[in-house]
């Protein structure tokens, strides 16, 4: 289970009761009705903040309840409204109905808000019911009940460039070389189980966020492997860098799989600008390296890659060219 998924229950406040009261003053025997309205119940709003980066807080508190509206009083005094609740969530949080799995909305930008449950309306006091036929009504309304809903929060990664590749394609190693991030690295599939972020210094006081995301395998769009968990994290990246390891399979085949899974998950992913990097150059002899680069470059030209390069994260070969390429991807409109 990812730490960026949480289920919480929200309950807005009940409205306060209207008041039944008659005006009582000396020398005014028939003062008439003066019962005030009840206050509205408190509402619950979600608010995105850049100060949070995970949904971990919601693992320890799962129930939120807004304040109850106060009852109305005499002299047409309205009851106080119940206290509203504002729940802060990280930027990039998606809100789903827990029962029907319907997307209710996304909170992307710092300060963006979304009203989830509105407080119950306060009941009317007897002052509101006066009329020519009944000048002293002795009736009032009860407050309306609040709303209760259970929602699922999902934090989708927001990064400038996402690393796309099959398991063991070298994404984590590359991230550790070009950024200060220290992801878990090992020689077996699915070493990366959660996304890792790093900042790449592009020079001239510019930088971009690079995301190392769990490996993508054939059938991921149907949920195989880490399927949906992987794909939902690249939905908001601005560009992609495809990494292929020619020691695992021919670059053209690997790139076809990656491209197909992105397209089947959503057309937007398949339309993002991208570049291709053939990894683990240190494991190939010169002829094999040249053949792998030629095959990947031909594929990239056919499918609209910005550029295709060859790198080795272990030896550092191609790293300057890679940073230049990342800068070009980052600056694309």
Whether residues 9 and 116 fall in one domain: yes
Please say which residue of 155, 185, 203 terminates a domain.
155
Whether residues 180 and 148 fall in one domain: no
Tokens of 172: 């984590």
How far apart (Å, rounded) are the C-alpha atoms in residues 309 and 325?
A: 9
The pLDDT assigned to 10 comes to 98
Dihedral sign, CA of 47, 53, 56, 57? negative
How far apart (Å, rounded) are the C-alpha atoms in residues 157 and 209?
A: 11
pLDDT in tens, 111-135: 999 999 999 999 999 999 999 889 8
Whether residues 127 and 27 fall in one domain: yes
Parent domain of 91: 5-155
Nearest to 153 by CA among 72, 96, 91, 74: 96
Dihedral sign, CA of 250, 254, 255, 257? positive
How far from 211 is each of 43, 197, 229, CA to CA, in Å?
36, 5, 14
Torsion of CA 189, 208, 220, 185, to 10 degrees: 10
| DSSP state letter for 62 | -
Tokens of 197: 């972020």
The pLDDT assigned to 182 comes to 53
SS3 264: helix
Please say which residue of 137, 155, 173 terminates a domain.
155
User: pLDDT at residue 216 above 70?
Assistant: no
**Domain containing residue 263: CATH number:** 3.40.50.300
Whether residues 178 and 229 fall in one domain: yes
Whether residues 121 and 29 fall in one domain: yes
How far apart (Å, rounded) are the C-alpha atoms in residues 178 and 57?
A: 31
Whether residues 117 and 261 fall in one domain: no
The pLDDT assigned to 91 comes to 87
Whether residues 193 and 317 fall in one domain: yes
Tokens of 118: 């509105």
Whether residues 166 and 288 fall in one domain: yes
Please say which residue of 134, 155, 176 terminates a domain.
155
Share of the chain above pLDDT 70, in %: 84
Whether residues 65 and 100 fall in one domain: yes
**Domain containing residue 47: CATH number:** 2.70.210.12
The pLDDT assigned to 218 comes to 43
Share of the chain above pLDDT 90, in %: 53
Tokens of 229: 């968990």
pLDDT band at 159 (very low <50, low <70, confident <90, very high): confident
Whether residues 124 and 263 fall in one domain: no
Residue 161, strand partner residues: 210, 239
User: pLDDT at residue 254 above 60?
Assistant: yes
Instruction: Let me know: does 99 contact 46? Beta carbons within 8 Å.
Output: no
Number of domains in the chain: 2
Across 20-24, 42-46, 168-172, 285-289, least confident range: 168-172
Whether residues 186 and 306 fall in one domain: yes
Determine the straight-line distance between the first and last CA of the chain, rounded to whole angstroms.
35
Whether residues 20 and 166 fall in one domain: no
Nearest to 48 by CA among 99, 95, 82, 16: 95
Arithmetic mean of pLDDT over the chain: 85
Q: Is 186 exposed, middle or buried (0-12, 13-18, 19+ CB in 10 A)?
A: exposed
User: pLDDT at residue 165 above 90?
Assistant: no
pLDDT in tens, 78-93: 999 999 999 999 888 9
pLDDT band at 321 (very low <50, low <70, confident <90, very high): very high
Tokens of 42: 């408190």
The pLDDT assigned to 193 comes to 45
Q: How confident is the model over 262-271, as a mean pLDDT?
A: 74
The pLDDT assigned to 232 comes to 63
How far apart (Å, rounded) are the C-alpha atoms in residues 187 and 85?
A: 47
How far apart (Å, rounded) are the C-alpha atoms in residues 268 and 263?
A: 8
């Amino acid at each position: 289970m990812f730490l960026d998924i949480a289920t919480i229950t929200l309950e807005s406040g009940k409205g306060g009761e209207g008041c039944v009261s008659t005006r009582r003053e000396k020398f005014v025997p028939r003062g008439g009705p003066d019962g005030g309205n009840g206050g509205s119940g408190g509402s619950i709003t979600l608010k995105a903040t850049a100060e949070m980066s995970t949904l971990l807080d919601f693992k320890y508190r799962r129930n939120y309840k807004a304040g109850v509206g106060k009852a109305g009083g005499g002299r047409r005094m309205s009851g106080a409204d119940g206290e509203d609740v504002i729940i802060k969530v990280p930027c990039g949080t998606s809100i789903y109905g827990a029962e029907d799995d319907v997307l209710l909305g996304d909170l992307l930008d710092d300060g963006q808000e979304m009203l989830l449950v509105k407080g119950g309306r306060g009941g009317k006091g007897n002052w509101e019911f006066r009329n020519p036929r009944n000048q002293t009504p002795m009736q009032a309304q009860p407050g309306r009940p609040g709303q209760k809903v259970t929602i699922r929060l999902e934090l989708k990664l927001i990064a400038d460039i996402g690393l796309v590749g099959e398991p063991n394609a070298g994404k984590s190693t590359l991230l550790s070389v070009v950024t200060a991030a220290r992801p878990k690295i090992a020689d077996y599939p699915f070493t990366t189980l959660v996304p890792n972020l790093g900042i790449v210094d592009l020079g001239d006081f510019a930088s971009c966020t690079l995301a190392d995301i769990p490996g993508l395998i054939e059938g991921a769009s149907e949920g195989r492997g880490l399927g949906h968990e992987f794909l939902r994290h690249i939905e908001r990246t601005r560009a992609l860098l495809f990494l292929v390891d020619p020691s695992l399979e021919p670059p053209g085949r690997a790139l076809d799989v990656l491209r197909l899974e992105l397209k089947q998950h959503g057309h937007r992913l398949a339309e993002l600008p991208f570049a291709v990097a053939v990894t683990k150059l240190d494991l190939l002899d010169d002829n094999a390296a040249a053949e792998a680069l030629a095959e990947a470059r031909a594929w990239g030209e056919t499918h609209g890659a910005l550029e295709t390069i060859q790198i080795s994260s272990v030896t550092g070969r191609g790293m300057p060219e890679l940073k230049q390429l990342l800068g070009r991807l980052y600056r694309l409109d």
